[in-house]
């Protein structure tokens, strides 16, 4: 059942289109709205991907739940967030964990994770949550994106609901424009925050252990992201981008609930991660960001560009109501949240935007 709340669909009606680029953007927005309307019924059927895939993949659910939110299915979103985070891997959660089915180190043979192995998984989310009462980690280690994309989506949704809180005394304008029908929704919202926030912080602690060489970049093994047949290993731009998105929206949520010390801690990690990507994964000669993949077959390193590096450009440049961090090509320009009387100032460095456009054009020319 949908809650009575006016939800921003993510597409602004206030934008003034004045040249060919803006006309293309306007066409894209119209098509996106039409797509959302035509697929809404299918999307709301379940958090599972559909078809023969009846389990919950945390990676997929992170995107599905955003669609639920845009469609106004707020109660369903909160219930599923609570459910998914209740399956966070922990020794206190006695759920059976299977791992290794996608790992060449395990000869693609799934095994049950014992207590010692589960300690190394502690804080992560599984790849898949099955109705049969067990979860699976597909690779040798938990996928980075399954955990951090869910941190990102959870933080973004909970922050949006805080901004729409009708009981807020500081935002009368939003109170008049956005109405939530019952106090039960906000009670559920508070309950979900209390439940998931400590778990998200625990997940951050787990992800930090994935920086094996302490260079502020996450390292991964085979099949530990969405590309479950790519067998890529090493420092992957896409995984850093997912991590950056999670850190950004988690820091915004923490600031919104006045957990300032934790917010500062998360923003520092955010800053270090972007600086590390710029320093180590940007190729000036190629004019693009490139994965550093460890080759277990040749004994050397390979630098490979993949299409999903584009998520990094989104991570540092998406310009939504929740953006409060300014970035520039060589790192952070200003990571301080500006919020005076709820009038937020979100200004991106113009050089960043121009260079992003240049990099996007290069990728088009490369047919990526």
Is residue 217 a contact partner of residue 269, using CB atoms and an 8 Å limit?
no
Region 130-153: what's the mean pLDDT? Answer: 94
In DSSP notation, 272-324 reads HHHHHHHHHTEETTTTEE-EEEEPTTTSSEEEE--GGGHHHHHHHH--STT--
**Backbone angles phi and psi of 302, in degrees to 5:** -125, 140
The predicted-structure confidence for 161-220, as pLDDT tens digits, reads as follows 988 754 344 444 444 344 444 456 666 788 899 999 999 999 999 999 999 999 999 999
Percentage of the chain lying above the pLDDT 90 cut: 47
Q: Rounded CA gap, 223 and 84, in Å?
A: 21
Is residue 117 within 8 A of residue 139, CB to CB? The reply is: no
What are the C-alpha distances in Å from 54 to residues 47, 82, 202?
Answer: 9, 19, 28
Count of other CB atoms within 10 angstroms of residue 134: 14
Range with the poorest average pLDDT among 145-149, 221-225, 331-335, 343-347: 343-347
**Measured distance CA(68)–CA(85) in Å, rounded:** 17
Six-digit token string for 97: 């964990």
Q: What is the pTM of this model?
A: 0.75
HEC per residue, 58-127:
HHHHHHHHHHHHHHCCHHHHHHHHHHHHCCCCCCCCCCEEEECCCCHHHCCCCEECCHHHHHHHCCCCCC
pLDDT tens string 30-74: 887 787 776 666 556 677 776 667 799 999 999 999 988 988 889
Residue 340 has pLDDT above 50, yes or no: no
- Measured between alpha carbons, how far is 187 from 78 in angstroms, rounded to an integer? 11
């Amino acid at each position: 059942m949908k809650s009575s709340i006016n939800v921003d669909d993510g597409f602004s009606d206030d934008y003034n289109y004045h040249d060919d680029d803006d006309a293309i953007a306007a066409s894209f927005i119209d098509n996106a709205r039409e797509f959302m309307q035509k697929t809404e019924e299918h999307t709301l059927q379940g958090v599972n991907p559909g078809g023969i895939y009846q389990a919950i993949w945390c990676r997929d659910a992170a995107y599905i739940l955003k669609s639920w939110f845009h469609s106004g299915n707020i109660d369903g979103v909160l219930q599923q967030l609570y459910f998914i985070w209740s399956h966070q891997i922990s020794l206190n959660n006695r759920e059976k964990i299977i791992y290794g089915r996608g790992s060449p180190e395990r000869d693609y043979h799934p095994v049950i994770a014992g207590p010692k192995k589960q300690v190394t998984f502690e804080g992560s989310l599984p790849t898949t949550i099955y109705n049969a009462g067990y979860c699976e980690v597909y690779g040798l280690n938990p996928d980075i994106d399954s955990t951090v994309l869910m941190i990102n989506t959870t933080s973004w949704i909970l922050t949006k609901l805080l901004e729409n809180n009708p009981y807020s005394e500081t935002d009368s304008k939003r109170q008049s424009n956005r109405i939530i029908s019952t106090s039960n929704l906000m009670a559920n919202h508070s309950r979900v925050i209390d439940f998931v926030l400590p778990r998200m912080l625990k997940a951050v602690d787990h992800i930090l252990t994935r920086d094996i060489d302490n260079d502020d970049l996450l390292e991964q093994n085979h099949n530990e992201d969405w590309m479950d047949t790519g067998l890529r290993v090493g420092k992957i731009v896409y995984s850093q981008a997912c991590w950056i998105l999670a850190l950004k929206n988690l820091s915004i949520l923490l600031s919104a609930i006045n957990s300032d010390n934790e917010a500062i801690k998360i923003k520092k990690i955010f800053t270090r991660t972007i600086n590390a990507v710029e320093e180590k994964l940007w190729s000036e000669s190629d004019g693009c960001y490139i994965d550093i993949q460890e080759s277990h077959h040749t004994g050397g390193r390979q630098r490979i560009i993949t299409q999903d590096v584009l998520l990094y450009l989104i991570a540092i440049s998406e310009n939504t109501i929740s953006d409060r961090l300014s970035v520039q090509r060589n790192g952070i320009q200003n990571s301080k949240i500006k919020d005076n009387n709820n009038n937020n100032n979100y200004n991106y460095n113009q050089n960043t935007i121009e260079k992003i456009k240049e990099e996007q054009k290069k990728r088009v020319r490369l047919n990526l």
